[in-house]
Amino acid sequence: MSVLFEPISIGSMVVKNRFVRSATQDTLGNEDGSISEKEILLYRRLAENDVGLIITAHSYVQHPLGRGSIRQNGIFNDSLIEGYQRLAAAVHPYGSKLVLQISHAGRQTAVDLPAGEQAIAPSAVTDNSTGITPRAMTSDEISQLIHAFVEAMVRAKRSGCDGVQLHIAHGYCLSQFLSPYTNRRTDEWGGCIKNRTRILKEIILQGKQLIGDDYPVLVKLNSTDGYSGAGYLCLQDVLYTARLLESLGVSAIEVSGGIRESKKVMSQPNIRQPEQEAYFAPAAKKIKAVVNIPVILVGGIRSLSVMEDLITRQTTDLISLSRPFVKEPDLVNRLRHSQTKAACVSCNACFSPNGLQCYYTGGINK
């Protein structure tokens, strides 16, 4: 049997195989942030087709400033728990695990903010992809943000989800604190890497006091801003962060990269050859070398042989896929039987406001 179909433990959670559906914004949520019927069907289809671990689309923890896009799911109040309870009930009969990803947009907020509202972020650094300039958060607002994440962690556990994942990637608020490019503060929340990771430490420590040490807390971690040179996130800081996260009791680290400004870094297009795949693998291998918790790798992975090599050569422990599951929700079963590669060609048409639209299937993946 291929190593891809062997079980693995992530903290107290046992995942039946090495396949992870990475958090994928589906823009199928209801306008109030609640889970829609279309999302229940989408997640059930992934589970019934043997995806071992399903990570939800990122759910925002503060309203309205935490919202990053239209029809994004939220977890900012107790009324939203019921939708995740239904989502968990939809996937658990098939043996899949469900982890709720939580986030705050920071300067990458939705452009349709209510009148009179301004995006908030660690520092007032303009997002050149949208022209949005946030205002720097006050110390009180940082405390409120920590509290919002902690409350969201509690809601994840109450919902029956098998774990929670902090979104510290892709240019959203927690990764904005991590990067010196977007965090130019001179107080205890900025400057050295110890200060830039302080908010992560506070969220995890305070959260674990309420959800317990046994409830799995995962993270999605940026390995790069998508830019190199002084003033941007460097690998040394990423490795420091990975070690810190493990020491705080994090159960697994999913490795990704890129921010909204650095186009074609996070979801690189036209991945057609094995040598183009797994573009965050070098960073993942270095992270795996300094931690003893499972590493999950996302980013352009398409071929069965590449997936197996990534695990057997100690680059990662689990394979995380996003775009391929839009094209083929049944990809795990296809790979188990005879298919050797995902059909996805990374055209990026799935980044559609109409909800997981694939050019090659002609519409919403139902």
Coil/strand/helix, residue 145:
helix
Note whether 83 and 68 are within 8 A (CB): no
Is 279 marked active-site?
no
**Separation of alpha carbons 125 and 208, rounded Å:** 32
Q: Three-state SS across 147-173?
A: HHHHHHHHHHHHCCCCEEEEEECCCCH
Note whether 246 and 192 are within 8 A (CB): no
Note whether 42 and 325 are within 8 A (CB): no
Query: Which neighbouring-strand residues pair with 260?
Result: none
**Separation of alpha carbons 20 and 24, rounded Å:** 11
Catalytic residue among 172, 181, 215, 279: 172
**Separation of alpha carbons 28 and 351, rounded Å:** 12
Angle between helices 198-211 and 139-158 in degrees, nearest 10? 40
Instruction: Give the Å distances, CA to CA, from 200 to 146, 152, 304.
Output: 9, 14, 35
DSSP letter at 178?
A: H
Position 176, amino acid: Q
CA 201 to chain centre: 18
Q: Give the active site residues.
A: 172
